Amino acid sequence: MNTSPDVILGIETSCDETAAAVVSADPGADSGRVLSNVVLSQLDDHAPYGGVVPEIAARAHLKHLDGLVRRALAEAGVVLRDLSGIAATAGPGLIGGVMVGVMTAKAMAAVTGKPFLAVNHLEGHALTARLTDGVAFPYLLLLVSGGHCQLLAVEGVGRYRRLGTTIDDAVGEAFDKAAKLLGLGYPGGPLMEKAAAQGTNNDRFELPAPMKGRPGCDFSFSGLKTAVRRHVETLGGSPGPQDVADIALSFHRAVGDSLVDRVARAMTLFRDAHPDGATLVVAGGVAANKVLRARLSDLCDRRGFRFVAPPLALCTDNAAMIAWAGLERLRLGLVDDLDFAPRPRWPLDPHAAAVPFAGVKA
């Protein structure tokens, strides 16, 4: 019987963070330990363009990844022979960056003879609460990461049922676009949250709560962005500091109203399928927003759900979540061949469009 801990190196290069981490867990343990978690942000490289430039991102990953891997191993106090496997984000994401991480991981796996684990970036977010809090399956997941905004029933590693998704902009995209309209810069989420903290009246600017009261669990945020634009135009195109703060505050209220409404509906569907399931996990970059966390935590208190959100450092893109997802897959024997092809698109629930959840009409 093997009593040695599993030790996994994770690599993340799907967007504009270059990251490497080492995670370990004892056999059979429901949670893990982050031995190192190194992240190099490319924010300054992309900020002048108001968004991520794929070519710049890929070149930065190529330049820095090897050094970050060496640093992650050193901080964890391990060498390559100590590893149980090597995991890398293999999609979805900007394909140039994904290829840099995958090829690096494959080369290391080939040289060391260690298993290679191709990880879905979204699964990394989805399983982070198990790394940090040992959350048991099944649980309800609100995944709000970059261009993704989904509600999923997480029933096991690789087993996801999508309850709702965005029909246009994701909430993270809405934050970025609203911030740009308000002249706040990029990335929008943290800047909007900072501006909202200076707001004094969240009713001063009327903003819609998209999809609130509608059937189903889908999201839509393009109309909210359009409403922000109209208010900016009404203010002559250059709102003052208090205008910006109050619009940002109203924006948070509208997003919170929408998320609470959609998640409440998903809770009902989830409980119908899993009567004993009573945990809501919020993961992804937008999960770092303290205002939205508070709204969702309050909803859980009212509905009898446990609320779990990873530490802020593990909400945004990082390699610890990739290492943990790789560890979970390794335990199940889900090892990948070295001919695995990186994927720019990779849905967690490939059957979502064709297979309704728990009897819900399509």
Fold of 137-310: Nucleotidyltransferase; domain 5 (3.30.420)
Q: What is the pLDDT of residue 351?
A: 87
- The residue ranges of DSSP E strands in the chain, in sequence order, are 6-12, 17-25, 33-41, 85-91, 116-120, 139-145, 148-156, 159-165, 279-283, 306-308
Q: Name the residue type at position 87.
A: A
Distance CA 10, CA 110 (A): 16
Say if CB 41 and CB 17 are below 8 A apart.
yes
Cα-Cα-Cα-Cα torsion 73, 74, 75, 80, nearest 10 degrees, comes to 30
Q: What is the pLDDT of residue 177?
A: 94
Closest among 258, 223, 337, 312 to 39, alpha carbons compared: 312
The arrangement of secondary structure in 6-129+314-331, i.e. its CATH architecture, is 2-Layer Sandwich (3.30)
Closest among 346, 354, 355 to 123, alpha carbons compared: 346
**DSSP output for 70-83:** HHHHHHHT--GGG-
Domains 6-129+314-331 and 137-310 share a fold: yes
Q: What is the pLDDT of residue 1?
A: 52
Q: What is the pLDDT of residue 146?
A: 74
Model confidence over 183-221: pLDDT tens digits? 999 889 999 999 999 999 988 999 999 999 999 999 999
Predicted TM-score (pTM) of this structure: 0.92
Could you list the pLDDT tens digit for every one of the 362 residues in the chain? 567 899 999 999 998 899 999 999 999 898 999 999 999 987 777 777 777 887 888 999 999 999 999 999 999 999 999 999 999 999 999 999 999 999 999 999 999 999 999 999 999 999 999 999 999 999 999 999 878 899 999 999 999 999 999 999 999 999 999 999 999 998 899 999 999 999 999 889 999 999 999 999 999 999 999 999 999 999 999 899 999 999 999 999 999 999 999 999 999 999 999 999 999 999 998 888 999 999 999 999 999 999 999 998 999 899 999 999 999 999 999 999 999 999 999 999 998 864 333 333 32
Say if CB 316 and CB 280 are below 8 A apart.
no
Neighbours of 354 (CB within 10 A): 7
Q: What is the pLDDT of residue 22?
A: 98
**Domain limits, the chain:** 6-129+314-331, 137-310
3-state helix, strand, coil in the chain (%, to 5): 45, 20, 35
Q: What is the pLDDT of residue 51?
A: 72
For the record, the structure tokens of 22 come out as 């080492």
